[in-house]
Amino acid sequence: MKSIIFIAPPAAGKGTQAKLVTEKYGIPHISTGDLLRAASNGDDELSITISKLLSEGKLVSDDLVLELLKERLEQFDCENGYILDGFPRNLTQAKKYEEILSNINMELGIVIFIDLAREVAQERISGRLSCPKCGAVYNSSIEGSMPIKENICDNCGTTLIHRNDDDITTYGIRYQTYMKDTVPLLDYYQTIHKLYVVDGNKSKDEIFKEITDIIDNNQ
Of residues 49 and 174, more confidence is placed in 49
Question: Would you state the pLDDT for residue 16?
Answer: 83
What is the share, in percent, of the chain residues with pLDDT greater than 90?
Answer: 43
Annotated domain spans of the chain: 4-117+182-216
128 as an active site residue: the answer is yes
Burial per residue of 123-154, b for 16 or more beta-carbon CB atoms within 10 angstroms, e otherwise: ebbebbbbbeeebbbbbebbeebbbeeeebbe
Question: Would you state the pLDDT for residue 109?
Answer: 94
Among the options 96, 163, 194, 204, which is catalytic? 163
The number of beta carbons lying within 10 Å of the beta carbon of residue 92 is 11
Q: What Å distances lie between residue 108 and 2, 98, 201, CA to CA?
A: 8, 7, 27
Question: Would you state the pLDDT for residue 137?
Answer: 82
Question: Would you state the pLDDT for residue 51?
Answer: 81
Question: Would you state the pLDDT for residue 172?
Answer: 72
Tens digits of residue pLDDT in 78-101: 999 999 987 898 899 999 999 999
Question: Would you state the pLDDT for residue 181?
Answer: 81
Rounded Cα distance between 58 and 166, Å, is: 17
Among the options 89, 96, 202, 204, which is catalytic? 89
By mean pLDDT, which of 80-84, 112-116, 122-126 is the weakest?
Answer: 122-126
Non-local (6+) Cβ contacts of 78 within 8 A are 3, 27, 28, 30, 72, 106
124 as an active site residue: the answer is no
**pLDDT band, very low/low/confident/very high, at 155 (cuts 50, 70, 90):** very high
14 as an active site residue: the answer is yes
Question: Would you state the pLDDT for residue 32?
Answer: 81
Domain 4-117+182-216: assigned CATH number: 3.40.50.300
Tens digits of residue pLDDT in 13-66: 888 899 899 999 999 999 887 888 888 887 777 788 878 877 776 667 888 888
Please say whether the beta carbons of 110 and 196 come within 8 A.
yes
pLDDT higher than threshold 90 for residue 214: yes
Tally of CA atoms within 13 A in the half-sphere of 53 that contains its CB? 18
Question: Would you state the pLDDT for residue 143?
Answer: 67
Question: Would you state the pLDDT for residue 167?
Answer: 62
Among the options 174, 194, 202, 204, which is catalytic? 174
**pLDDT band, very low/low/confident/very high, at 164 (cuts 50, 70, 90):** low
Q: What is the mean pLDDT of residues 179-197?
A: 91
